[in-house]
């Protein structure tokens, strides 16, 4: 028996180390024996000798440039090490040399590209190439559909996933993602049966179970529908919680897939439901990842180490609102650590980086890696900026990564998590009884609670087809509840020459269609325009040219109102009982311009009508806004108060 055959026999018998020795002997005897290099690589991977395995595969390809299996394994090893770009290069080389079977090679190329930053379009091209060669591959159709959905190409995703389920009816993964696309299109009547099929095929699919149990519409058709879905959510939450506690390992991927983000847009006090969900999340995470659940002792200091973690440390609303906290922090007394788990970086990211003692960019990292880094930095306080918006943050926030942990109001509703100790909010925005809306201890920072820098402004400009007066409302579709539709109808009835303009509605979307149907019940379709999301410069130009900014009663604008006021656009608001219904109220209170704060729907309409029909009054309001802008923007008081809170919290815990 020669050395190569001896090595294969030893590997077959389970002796990997002996096999490696035999393959090395074969290489010593025949240095250009590709099979020996290849099999050595196959043995070294499970032995954990990754660098040596990579070298062995490369040698196999050198010896035999058309060795397809060597290309395949080499690419997969690089990919498994997180080197997706290098893996892609080797697959492309193998395809170019004809070493890889095209249908299979392009499928692998698509899988790798799908994991690269901004690699989705390359993935779509590769999958399309694979399907042109073999249109009967259901797995490739499924993966194509998943990537199309990530790109927001919902029609193409539906076509691909429908093809996948037709070719492979037992593919639970395809059914799950088909349901997810229908859900993203607000078509829950079609999504729920898909998730039921996924659960039947794989009863331990925690993602399908969570989504089926806790699904909520993005936009509602009627007010009664809001209550019906809330009742379903309430009933299913208890059932899902029981299942999750019995199957924590299966449940964790479900918790890490989605948040209960849409619950808070029903306009009601969510504390009881959030608390119940928070307990489920804590129980699952502590059982599956117990090493990050133990209490931590307060480390010595000063300086005091404060961490901020988010997927949105860029020009997202969360990043824009929080960056002032970091920039204004005293670098002598406090060391700021920022953990950016998202992909996008821009000038806001640079501001976080420049003001941090340490800045980590951790795109694509799993919770274990991020948690380990945070623990290693031995923080005194950790602040989450977007719990409720991103499921990765929900999982991390259910751990104990610092002695004191809290949350900012990137998503202004209680997290319900027992592992978060405080909620940073605004004195001007919180109602007197605001504490009862939170499981966390409520911290009211002075004013609006932000150190906010106003944007640079373009000249005024209206999009084509618009004419003044323009009544502008700029909230996401899910922030508009059916009970407020009559308000918009009454407004345009009182102002026959005004145009009502909504921004952020994608054309040809079922979500947009539902909102249009609601508006058409209270006004004719020529009285309003639904614009898509605009480039920021064009959006600000529209704010500068509009006549009145219409705040939304169910979910008040925060960042949008700050930008509207910076543009000199008067804001009319009708505050509610919850903090998230009082952003504009708190901003106007801090600004000292409260004439446009309404007490009821009739007063709201009356104030809009006066601003449109009385130019002198509108000019007066604008002059007050300009004169008092210093109260709102670049105000360091909240950062000083935040530092004081941090010191007190550390002292009381230590």
Residue 19 confidence class, pLDDT cut points 50, 70, 90: confident
CATH of the domain at 520: 3.40.50.2000
Model pLDDT for residues 415-426, shown as the tens digit of each residue: 999 999 999 999
Does the pLDDT value for residue 492 go beyond 60?
yes
How much is the pTM?
A: 0.92
CATH of the domain at 42: 1.25.40.10
Q: Is residue 463 part of a domain?
A: no
Same domain membership, residue 330 and residue 408: yes
| Mean pLDDT score, 387-414 | 96
CATH of the domain at 397: 3.40.50.11380
Same domain membership, residue 556 and residue 495: yes
> What is the total count of domains within the chain?
4
Q: Is residue 142 part of a domain?
A: yes
Q: Is residue 268 part of a domain?
A: yes
Whether 468 and 542 have beta carbons less than 8 Å apart is answered as no
Q: Who has greater pLDDT, 200 or 365? A: 200
Q: Is residue 185 part of a domain?
A: no
Same domain membership, residue 488 and residue 447: no
Residue 364 confidence class, pLDDT cut points 50, 70, 90: confident
Does the pLDDT value for residue 1 go beyond 70?
no
Model pLDDT for residues 516-561, shown as the tens digit of each residue: 999 999 999 999 999 999 999 999 999 999 999 999 999 999 999 9
Q: Is residue 460 part of a domain?
A: no
Q: Tokens 């390809």 appear where?
A: 61
Domain boundary among the residues 125, 149, 172 is at 172
Q: Is residue 546 part of a domain?
A: yes
Q: Is residue 476 part of a domain?
A: yes
Whether 40 and 56 have beta carbons less than 8 Å apart is answered as yes
Same domain membership, residue 604 and residue 514: yes
What domain range includes position 376?
291-453+637-653
Closest CA to 421 of 373, 366, 383, 392: 383
* Strand, coil or helix: 328: helix
Domain boundary among the residues 238, 263, 288 is at 288
Residue 635 confidence class, pLDDT cut points 50, 70, 90: confident
Model pLDDT for residues 237-259, shown as the tens digit of each residue: 999 999 999 999 999 999 999 99
Same domain membership, residue 218 and residue 366: no
Does the pLDDT value for residue 607 go beyond 80?
yes
Same domain membership, residue 141 and residue 45: yes
Domain boundary among the residues 151, 172, 193 is at 172
Same domain membership, residue 444 and residue 581: no
Distances (CA, A) of 138 to 95, 144, 433: 21, 10, 55
CA distance 509 to 502: 15
Same domain membership, residue 510 and residue 372: no
Report the pLDDT value the prediction gives residue 234, as an integer from 0 to 100: 98
223: part of which helix (H) or strand (E)?
A: helix 223-246
Backbone angles phi, psi at 472, to 5 degrees: -105, 130
Same domain membership, residue 272 and residue 347: no
Same domain membership, residue 74 and residue 26: yes
Same domain membership, residue 302 and residue 444: yes
Same domain membership, residue 124 and residue 17: yes
Residue 568 confidence class, pLDDT cut points 50, 70, 90: very high
Q: Is residue 52 part of a domain?
A: yes
| Mean pLDDT score, 507-512 | 94
Give the sheet arrangement for strand 422-426, strand by strand. Answer: 358-361, 334-340, 304-310, 381-384, 404-407, 422-426, 441-445
Does the pLDDT value for residue 654 go beyond 70?
no
Average pLDDT for the chain: 95
């Amino acid at each position: 028996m020669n050395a190569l055959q001896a090595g294969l026999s030893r590997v077959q018998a389970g002796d990997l180390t002996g096999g490696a020795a035999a393959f090395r002997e074969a290489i010593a005897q025949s240095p250009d024996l590709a099979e020996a290099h290849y099999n050595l690589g196959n043995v070294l991977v499970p032995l954990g000798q990754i660098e040596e395995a990579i070298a062995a595969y490369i040698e196999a390809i050198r010896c035999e440039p058309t060795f397809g299996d060597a290309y395949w394994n080499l690419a997969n090893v690089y990919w498994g090490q997180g080197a997706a770009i290098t893996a892609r290069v080797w697959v492309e080389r193998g395809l170019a040399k004809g070493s890889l079977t095209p249908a299979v090679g392009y499928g692998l190329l698509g899988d790798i590209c799908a994991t690269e930053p901004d690699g989705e379009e390359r993935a779509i091209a590769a999958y399309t190439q694979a399907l042109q060669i073999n249109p009967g591959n259901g797995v490739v159709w499924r993966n194509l559909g998943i990537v199309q959905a990530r790109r927001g190409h919902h029609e193409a995703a539906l076509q691909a996933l429908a093809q996948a389920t037709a070719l492979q009816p037992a593919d639970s993964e395809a059914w799950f993602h088909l349901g997810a696309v229908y859900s993203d299109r607000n078509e829950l009547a079609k999504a729920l049966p898909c998730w039921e099929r996924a659960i039947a095929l794989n009863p331990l699919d925690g993602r399908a179970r969570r989504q089926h149990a806790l699904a909520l519409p993005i936009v509602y058709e009627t007010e009664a529908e809001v209550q019906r879905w809330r009742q379903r959510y309430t009933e299913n939450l208890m059932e899902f919680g029981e299942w999750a506690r019995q199957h924590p390992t299966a449940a964790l991927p479900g918790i890490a897939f989605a948040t209960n983000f849409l619950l808070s847009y029903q306009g009601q006090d969510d504390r009881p439901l959030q608390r119940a969900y928070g307990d489920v999340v804590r129980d699952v995470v502590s059982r599956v990842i117990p090493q990050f659940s133990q209490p931590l002792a307060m480390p010595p200091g000063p300086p005091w180490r404060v961490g901020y973690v988010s997927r949105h440390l860029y020009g997202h609303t969360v990043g824009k609102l929080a960056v002032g906290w970091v920039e204004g922090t005293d670098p002598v007394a406090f060391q700021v650590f920022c953990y950016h788990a998202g992909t996008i970086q821009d000038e806001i990211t640079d501001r976080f980086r420049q003001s941090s003692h340490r800045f980590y960019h951790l795109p694509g990292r799993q919770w274990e890696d991020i948690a380990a880094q945070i623990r290693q930095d031995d923080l005194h306080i950790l602040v989450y900026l977007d719990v409720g918006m991103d499921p990765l943050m929900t999982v991390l926030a259910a751990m104990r990564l610092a002695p004191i942990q809290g949350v900012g109001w990137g998503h202004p509703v209680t997290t319900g998590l027992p592992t978060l100790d405080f909620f940073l909010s605004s004195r001007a925005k919180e109602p007197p009884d605001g504490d009862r809306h939170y499981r966390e201890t409520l911290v009211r920072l002075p004013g609006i609670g932000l150190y906010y820098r106003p944007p640079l402004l373009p000249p005024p400009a209206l999009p084509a087809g618009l004419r003044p007066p323009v009544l502008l409302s700029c909230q996401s579709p899910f922030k508009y509840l059916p009970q407020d539709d009559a308000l918009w109808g009454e407004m345009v009835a009182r102002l026959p020459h005004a145009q009502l303009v909504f921004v952020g509605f994608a054309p040809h979307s079922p979500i947009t269609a539902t909102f249009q149907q609601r508006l058409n019940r209270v006004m004719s379709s020529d009285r309003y325009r639904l614009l898509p999301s605009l480039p920021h410069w064009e959006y600000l130009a529209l704010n500068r040219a509009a006549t009145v900014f219409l705040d939304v009663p169910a979910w008040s604008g925060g960042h949008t109102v700050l930008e509207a006021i910076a543009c000199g656009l008067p804001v009319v608001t009708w505050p509610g009982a919850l903090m998230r219904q009082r952003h504009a109220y708190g901003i106007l209170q801090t600004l000292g311009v409260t004439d446009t704060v309404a007490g009821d729907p009739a007063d709201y309409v009356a104030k809009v009508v006066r601003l449109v029909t009385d130019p002198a009054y509108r000019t007066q309001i604008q002059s007050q806004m300009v004169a008092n802008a210093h109260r709102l923007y670049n105000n360091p008081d909240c950062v000083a108060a935040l530092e004081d809170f941090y010191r007190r919290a550390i002292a009381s815990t230590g």
